[in-house]
Structure 1
Amino acid sequence: MRRRTLLKAAAASVAAPALLTATAGSASAATSLSVRGIDISSLPKSEALGGVYYSTSGTKTDAVQLMSTAGISHARLKVWVNPADGYNNEAHILPLAVRLKAKGIKLLVDFHYSDTWCDPANQAKPAAWANYTVAQLSTAVYNHTADVLGALVAQGTPADLVQIGNETDGGVLWPTGNWDNLDNLATFLKSGISAAKATTPGVRTILHLSNGGTQSLYTWFFDNMKSRGVAWDVIGMSFYPYWHGALTDLAANLAYVTARYGTPALVAETAYPWTLTDKDGFANLVNASSQLTSGYPATSAGQNAWVRAVADTVAATPNGMGLGYVYWEGFWTAVTGNGWDPTNASSGNNWENQALFDYSSKALPALASIGSYRA
């Protein structure tokens, strides 16, 4: 996720099979979800710049300890190749992985294969790879993936789940691996998957798209990748209600893709605002009542109800094929210098009203609800 996502134009023209009608509670749900995660990619920079976190009772507490106390199972960490600010790279995820393992929290590594944000509208090659051939790009993907995951293994903190690309609706490594070059895209994805499997025995690989309620997009992408020999373990979806539809759309797509492809699915990103007010003077992505979902106000209770509803929807995926979900950037509070643009230290954060902390940095109820979920 970054600012806004685009659908592959061709995907919209694919005739999707009849919509399935699964909804939360329509199938026998597991008593718990194996993935109850939070993306905490912004945490190391936040802490370095003075960010602090408090329990619901107002006690200053280490961020990872707060996750552990809440029962969070996984932390998702994005990896850029050579980021301008020096964060979201191997050097910063390694010590964070040690902290996470000490508290029993598993790791989901999210490779962006870029120096900056990747999403359906942005998949820029790393600057160092700009003039590489297809073969060189494939090798670079393999080596970068293997280097990061191998370093995690070497320090005793292996990844449990690995995303090979982030919101890859439009491909990766543009333009060489974009949606108009599906053979190249498949080559790059296979290279990343191969590196993950070679370095981390037992790791589960994820292919991740946005627009989690759009069956035609998933059919187009995964049919094309399957026909080109790409073998994934988990289908990852982003699902934000202000962009991606209704929960019934998500439920239907979860049921559909897990049945069609025979692999489990995971909501790799979701979030919801607890307020519409701004803290840092930089306009938030969700800032108007018209963007809200009926029944879920922009309050701490509304945010809490939303995470519970997403969890219920995933848990109701038929045959226990819904692994769980990850809340996106729950610790990205408004800390000066920790904004959107890694090239600009004065850039603002447009996400603080969807974090899992109020403007006093006190944990909101949704944090505990994510970790303690039971259907």
Structure 2
Amino acid sequence: MKVYIKKLSWLWMCIGIFGLGSCKNDNVAPAVPDEDNFAKGADISWITEMEAAGVSFYNQAGMATDGLKLLRALGMNAVRLRVWVDPTNGWCNKEDVLVKAYRAHHLGMRIMVDFHYSDHWADPGQQNKPAAWESLSLDELKAAVAEHTKEVLQLLKDNNITAEWVQVGNETGNGMLWEDGKASESMANYAALNNAGYDAVKAVFPEAKVIVHVHNGYDNSLFRWLFDGLTSNGGKWDVIGMSLYPDKDNWQERTQQCVQNMEDMIARYETKVMICEVGMSWDEEDAAVAFLTELMDRSRQFPTGQVLGVFYWEPLSYGGWNGYTLGAMDDSGRPTKVWEAFK
């Protein structure tokens, strides 16, 4: 065990807060992917913060259980973990990411790391630089992206944990690290920052698949604009990632549009695709399970290896945690019907 594990999580593991049992060094369970290697995953980045706040998770019988073990029992074989550079409360920094990655790894789950390159949320409406990077030049920003990416991934590697997929930015439909890396202002700058992250990933995990992740997976014109721009400026990626958040009234239309967009991305750029985020209101579980089942089935109909998987965003959240209502647990902390799609 390395020093970060010892400082941050080993004591908690020993006393059973995370349900990992005793302190003995058990053999690591191997990842158990589906026969077609399809990833069925969840972003679980809130889990340590929720546990620290006293939130509990329950199986269908109402018995309290470890959240990650519950995910595994419900059919998930992968986790997605966001990482912020210097968050004010510490959650989702590199040490917190290590704790979650360690737990998932020892349950045989595959791992995606999602770099926001910010101290807080990065999404279509905000791509704010970390405070420590505010005054950096473009060349210095590229160096900072590379250093931060390597630092986080090397920490995982030093603890014998492999990142199978790595997002270089989160929902970067208009670039990242604004204003320097705003794609609508300078696609060349965005491509350069993206490539700094891409090369850093490969330096630590040469076999990892690097994802460029864009919101609104149904919006083909957005994807063509961004990836044509990256292509024209030497941008590098291995996988095109998509988010898809329909509602109970439009999920069929949005799913069809997303599938058509996936078909176009695969043909136009000869690339793999992945659904990195999905969600629907927890109290629309009939519509949600129909949506997820359709999306999973349509994704699996592509030739093997073209669509890599589907990840639900923070399905363990419930009770209005942080104001989020698109989880897959009911108000009592039990799984909704949504999980049926992943079995």
**TM class by shorter-chain length?**
0.7 to 0.9
Q: How many equivalent pairs are there?
A: 306
Q: Distance in 2 between matches of 1:102 and 1:319?
A: 27
Aligned position for 1:312: 297
Aligned to 1:272: 280
1:129-168 → structure 2 map (5 Å cutoff): 129-168=133-172
* Pair 1:359-2:331 in alignment: yes
Higher RCO structure (Cα 8 Å, ≥6 apart): 1
SS at match of 1:178: coil
Mapped partners of 1:313, 1:117: distance in 2: 30
What does residue 261 of structure 1 align with? Answer: 269
Residue 211 to residue 332, structure 1, CA distance change in 2 (3 Å):
same
Over the aligned positions, Cα root-mean-square deviation in angstroms equals 1.8
For residue 192 of structure 1, the aligned residue among 180, 193, 197 is 197
Which residue of the partner structure matches residue 81 of structure 1?
85
Q: How does 1:92-107 map to 2 (within 5 A)?
A: 92-107=96-111
Distance 2:335 2:136 in 1: 45
CA–CA distance in structure 2, aligned partners of residues 220 and 64 of structure 1: 38
Contact 1:255 1:318 in 2 (8 A): no
Q: CA deviation at 1:33?
A: 5.8
Deviation at 1:333, TM superposition (A): 2.1
How far is the alpha carbon of 1:39 from its aligned partner?
A: 0.6
* Residues 159-308 of structure 1 aligned to structure 2 (within 5 Å): 159-179=163-183, 180-242=185-247, 246-275=254-283, 298=284, 300-308=285-293
Partner Cα separation in structure 1 for residue 341 and residue 255 of structure 2: 18
**DSSP 3-state at the match of 1:317:** coil
| 8 Å contact from structure 1 (residues 274, 302) kept in 2 | no
Q: Which amino acid aligns with 2:297?
A: D
Query: 2:53 corresponds to which residue?
Result: 49
With structure 2 as the length reference, what TM-score do the two structures score? Answer: 0.85
Read off the aligned partner of 1:215 and give its amino acid letter.
N
**Pairwise CA distance, 1:334:** 3.0
Amino acid at match of 2:215: S
Look up the SS of the partner of 1:259 in the other structure.
helix
Residue 38 of structure 1 aligns to a residue in which SS?
Answer: strand
For 1:228 and 1:211, the matched residues in 2 are separated by 23
* Identity among equivalent pairs (%): 34
Contact 1:254 1:317 in 2 (8 A): no
Give per-residue Cα distances to partners, 1:242-288, cap 9 Å, x unaligned.
4996211011101010111111101111111231xxxxxxxxxxxxx
Aligned-residue offset at 1:319: 6.1
Q: Distance in 2 between matches of 1:31 and 1:74?
A: 14
Q: Which amino acid aligns with 1:251?
A: V
Q: Cα deviation per residue 1:104-161 (whole Å; 9 max; x = unaligned)?
A: 1111100000011111110000011000000100000000000000100110111110
Q: Write the distance in 2 (CA, Å) between the matches of 1:100 and 1:367.
A: 18
Tell me, what secondary structure is at the counterpart of 1:360?
A: coil
In structure 2, C-alpha distance between the alignment counterparts of 1:304 and 1:147, rounded to whole Å: 38
2:7 alignment counterpart: none
Q: Which moved more, 1:160-169 or 1:306-315?
A: 306-315
CA distance in 1 between counterparts of 2:37 and 2:273 reads: 12
Q: In the aligned structure 1, how far is the partner of 2:113 from the partner of 2:309? A: 16
Question: Structure 2 CA distance, aligned partners of 1:250 and 1:33?
Answer: 21
Q: Does the 8 A contact of 2:84 with 2:93 survive in 1? A: yes
1:61 aligned residue: 65
Secondary structure of the corresponding residue to residue 334 of structure 1 = coil
Task: Compute the TM-score of the two structures, normalised by the length of structure 1.
Answer: 0.78
Shift of 1:229: 1.6
Task: Report deviation, 1:367.
Answer: 2.4
Q: Aligned pair in 2 of structure 1 residues 318, 158: CA closer, same or farther (>3 Å)?
A: closer
How far apart are the structure 1 equivalents of 2:165 and 2:36? 18
Structure 1 unaligned spans of 5+:
1-29, 276-297, 340-348
Q: What amino acid is aligned across from residue 46 of structure 1 in structure 2?
A: M
Superposition deviation, residue 94 in structure 1: 0.5
Letter in 2 for 1:366: V
Alpha-carbon distance in structure 2 between the residues aligned to 1:59 and 1:319: 38
Check if 1:334 corresponds to 2:339: no
